[in-house]
Structure formats: C-alpha cells, structure tokens
Chain A
C-alpha cells in the first residue's frame, strides 16, 4: 500500500504506542483523585502537558487537553466569542477554514453574531485587504488557519496579527494549526495567536486527542461543563494515555522536523513535476512556493476525482479529494471553490499528502499508478460526455 493521505491522518509512531501503553494497561488512576493511583496518573498527565507546552511555545497552564482538533477549534471560536458577547459581536474568519471552524462560525451567526468570511485568492492565501476591512472595534474573534488542510498553503499569520491588533484591539486571535505541526515550528509561527489548535493524530499521535493553547488567560466559555478539569474549560476525566501519546508524538515531530521537511519537500516536488511531465494538462492547486512540504494538490482535466480515487485505491494508492463527509462520499471542496477554481476543475482535483514515513519508492509507485489511471480514465470519460 502506498499511503499518500497524511493530511487526513498519520500512522502512529511506535514510540508513541509504547509511551501510551503504561496508561492503558497499568497506571489506570483518575488524575483528579487524591491517592497513590491518582497521583501516578496525574504526574504523567502533567509531564505530558509540560512537554506539549514546551513544543508549542507556551506554559503548562496554557494547555487545554481536548478530544481532538475539531473540539479545540469549537472551544476557541465559540468559547471566545461567547465569553466576549458583552464587548462585541464581530467574528471574522476565512472562507476556506476547516469545517471545525466554519461550522462553529455558522452557529454563532445563527446566535446573532456578525460573521465575516474573508475571501482567499487563487493561490490559496487570504486577502489581507479584505481582512482589514472586516475588522472593527466590535470584532471579538478572528480565526485564521496556519496551514490550509486541502491545498497546504501557509497563511501570513504575522500580518494577520498586526492588522488585528491595529484594527480590532478587543479581538482574540485564534489559529487552527492542525495541519502545521509536522512542517512548521508552531511555537514561532503561531506565537502571535492567543489560541492555537492542534490534533495529535496529524503528527504520529493517537486519534481523539488534541490541545488548545490558550495564552494570556484569554477568556473562554467552556463547551463541556462538569467536574472542572482543564482549568474549568474542558470537564471530564482527561485521557492520560492520549496526552502522553500526544506529548511523545510532538517530541519526535519537533526533533526531526527540520530534517523531515528537507527530505520530504524534494519528494513532493518530484511527485508534482513527474505528474506534470507525464499527464498532459495536469495543474497544481495552491501556490507551490507557499505551501507545506508534504502537500501536493493536483488536478487532471477530464477526469472525475471520485472515480480516480477508486482506481488508485484498487491499485493500492491511498489519496483523497475534497473533504470526506461521514458517509464517505466526496463533497465538492469548499476550499477550492473559495479559491475561485471552476467546479469542473475542483471535481477533477485530488490531494496527495506525504509524511514522515513517505519514501522515494512511494513517489515512484504513485507516479506510475496515477499516470496510468488518468490515461485509462480519460478517453472513457471524454467519449461518454
């Protein structure tokens, strides 16, 4: 199997599985308790919290362990907006955020907030002028992703932060950094943000665990209330094994990031160049100069992505298109639509995403399989139209 869907999820590092095992099979205490069993779990949780905090450039008290990236996004966007309701009603985001941010913004809009979805350009970068125009004194939340989940483009967060500080001094700045961790030093890149979402399974950690970095005691209204765990922001017994796994995955990722980016970028470039050379009409989505090393988002005119993905799967290549809904059907991409790609081109585009276990051989296989599949699918589709 040739796995080219790292942006969807990544295989767990063996070290992560090993780091989690003691808390799944042995140290079972509830970290909120007061006895020896509880203390062992609590110690492990707090160690994990410190390591996560270090890697993300925050203090341990600034880490809220969540049930994943989407929960972190929800807590950030809805939590910050609702906590600031008295101060204002403006919520500003981009048109091509992850659904984990867009859906909470839709919810806030139904609840009476003014939501502005800032347009993005054809290269996959948000329009800073439009952002500036959307900000005002009554803006309470600005949410701009660090790296887009489909086309991999890196957003100019420093410039965003500057505009927010100047134009919307009351606003909390959130960034969804879920796709950034394997490729960027999030501690530095997301430094200007008050709130930062990450998700462990995107960098070799377990599914169902994430974190929200919350700087400067940014006021948040919790989504899940109960026993008051995680500074009262996320009640419920914390997944100790998950937190330990996330910390270990983050350690490995941070340690090897420089080398991995240097190794994978040329693989990705070879994949993109190879496809361009072998498949006439092949086009790239998202500015290649401003995207993360693992992202290769390409389109093949005249080929339906949904059909192509089945053909690739049957030949052992795992890739994706659009954003998969729970039913597994491919939905037309709101990201590509926001970038102004015509519907036909969007429906002809697929995402190939590389990661830490990707090899030269994977690229060779992918080039062969994809080029052959496109060639096979093209005449039939054309003839049928």
Chain B
C-alpha cells in the first residue's frame, strides 16, 4: 500500500475476517466503504450472501460508521463460477470454485467496479499478505496463521491486481482476529466459519451437479478393466477419493481415474495413484518465472501440506512421488512463504 492509497472498497461477507479487515483499515486511516456481494439465490435463500449475512455486514459497517452497499453479481457468479463448477464435475474434473470466484468476481468484477468508482484499492478478509517491495513489485505471501493461510486460492493474482489489493488480516492469527473483533465489540466476533461450497446449501454436491448437468450411470472398474460395480455418475467422485466408492473389494481402494466420456470410474491401490509430476495449464506467475532448477514448494489443495518440487515448462515435477493431483485442482508454487504462481492440473 502506498501513501496515496486512501479510498478502499472492502468486500464484507458478514463474517469475522472481513469485518476485522474493514475495522483495521478504518483505524489505520483509510476511507473505507463496505460492499457485500450477492452471488447466489433469491431473497430467502440461506446460502452465501443470504439476507442474514448481508444484514451482519451492514450492521458491522454501521458500527464502524462506514458506508455499505450490496452488489448483485448473481449473473456473473452463475456464468463464471457455478456453471464451470458443474461442467468440471460432469467432465470428471475437480474444480475449485473459490479460486474461480476470486479470479472472476472479487478480483474481477469487484475490482473493475472499484476502479470505475474511483477507489484506490479493494480489500478482503483473506489470510494472506501483500508485500510491496522497494522496486515497486508486489509479492503475495502466506498469511501469518499457517492453519488459516489462503494464499492458495489467490494464486491467480498478478501485479496489476495486487497493486490495488489490501489483505490486512493476513498479518494476524485467527485468534488475534477474533480478539480484535471482540475488542471492537463486532457482532460477528463469534460467528462460525463457513467451510463448504457456498452455493450448495442443501443436499450433496453430486445432487447439485446432477440437477444441472444430468447424470450418466456407468461402470466401476479395476485397473485391468474388470467391472466391479455400477455408479450413478462421475460427479460423485474425485481422484484420490477412498470413502463412498460404493463397491466392496476387500481391500482399500481409491479412485485413480475418471473418464467422463465413457462414464467410467477406475479404482486402484494407493500405489496406483502415485505420480512423479503433474501437467498444468494456464500457468501464471505473480512476479518472476522460476527456472527448472529452483527448488520450490508445491501445494495442490487449499489446506494441503506443501511438498518439494520444481516447475519445468508446463509440468510440475515432484521430489518424491505424490498422490495424483485431480485434474481441475490448482497447483500452487511457493518459494518459502512467497507464492510464485501456479496453474490448473490437467
């Protein structure tokens, strides 16, 4: 953040992190405006940005004495997040809708509107740190609280976005965030965290996907093509999944492959899942491109443990064999706690 960054649009979900983000920025002297994004569902929907969450955000904004607005991005959210999510599962891939929401909505549509309205920056309650270097370049680092770090879902941010982004709670642990909230008397201090996919409010993922994309039953096979059973549709499965494969085989079996074209689910042993690399598409780097020799940390799930590897063109090579990365997942690359970039597993 530079001295000229004064007017900030804070995306307030009604949760504790973004509430504290708004409070911290206001207390640091920024001219703060809060905005809650309506992304899904009708007025009575209990999902993300339900009327109750908007009300929480509005009340916090009032408590902080900052203006608050609601932006209706339901059309864009459906087209750019929910639709691709459904398509991915229907195609046997494992999408990360939070990543797409950050890419297209929070750091897409919202940033675009913030620019149009003359705001200098957008802030969110993500646990990650934006670090401005002397040379003017901007780095994205993991949040201070390892357990809450969300830099992974922000891997797509580039210099242009980061230069206009503030992530104040990334400097704090979650416990410190709650302390701040309690000290400020914020009514969201003890609100539980949201964990699930925000737009699936009832039932399970496969029901949601099936309702939009239809279901195509198919065979469950072993590595040799032997049929072990039947399934109701590939959206019910993720590569690496163990539980709930619905077939009794006598030994631990994992989903090792999904073929949407033939609606085939392939089971195998854990060893069958191991790979020494993953292909990535749409590879993107925050600042610099690491060379093929540079040792990196590779992270393939939002809260997964990183492991050593290197990036070589469009392949990420692992130091030790790792369970196969489900196509569609983000492969994020770190040097220490600096996020270098990443791509989507193919």
Binding site for B on A (CB under 8 A): 304, 306-307, 310-311, 313-314, 325-331, 376-377, 380-381, 384
Contact = CB atoms under 8 A, between A and B. Distances in A.
B67 A331 contact: no
Interface string B113-125: 1011110000000
Contact of B116 (A325, A328, A329, A377): A377
Contacts of B176: none
B38 interface: yes
Contacts of A331: 72
Interface of B: 33, 36, 38, 43, 49-51, 54-55, 58, 67, 69-72, 112-113, 115-118
Given A313-B69, A327-B43, 4 more contacts: A304-B113, A314-B67, A327-B36, A380-B116
B314 to A, nearest CB: 29
B69 A380 contact: no
Contacts of A313: 67, 69
B112 A310 contact: no
B38 A380 contact: no
Nearest to A322: B72
Contacts of A310: 69, 113, 117
B43 A328 contact: no
Nearest to A380: B116
A313 B67 CA distance: 10
Nearest to B116: A380
Nearest to A325: B43
Closest 3 CB pairs of A and B: A329-B38, A329-B72, A380-B116
Contact of B117 (A314, A330, A384): A314
A330 B58 CA distance: 15
Contacts of A307: 113, 116-117
B51 A326 contact: yes
Given A380-B112, A384-B112, A328 B117 contact: no
Contacts of A304: 113
Contact of A327 (B70, B115, B117, B118): B70
B43 A306 contact: no
29 contacts: A304-B113, A306-B71, A307-B113, A307-B117, A310-B113, A311-B116, A311-B117, A313-B67, A313-B69, A314-B67, A314-B117, A325-B43, A326-B43, A326-B51, A327-B36, A327-B38, A327-B50, A327-B70, A328-B58, A328-B69, A328-B70, A329-B70, A329-B72, A330-B72, A331-B72, A376-B116, A377-B117, A380-B116, A381-B112
A324 B67 CA distance: 17
B117 A329 contact: no
A328 B54 contact: yes
B201 to A, nearest CB: 15
A8 to B, nearest CB: 15
A327 B67 contact: no
Contacts of B113: 304, 307, 310
Nearest to A381: B116
A9 to B, nearest CB: 18
A384 B50 CA distance: 29
A331 B51 CA distance: 13
Contacts of B72: 306, 329-331
A327 B116 contact: no
Q: Could you say which of A304, A313, A328 has the most chain B C-beta atoms within 10 Å of its C-beta?
A: A328
A45 to B, nearest CB: 35
A313 B117 CA distance: 11
Contacts of A380: 112, 115-116
B59 to A, nearest CB: 12
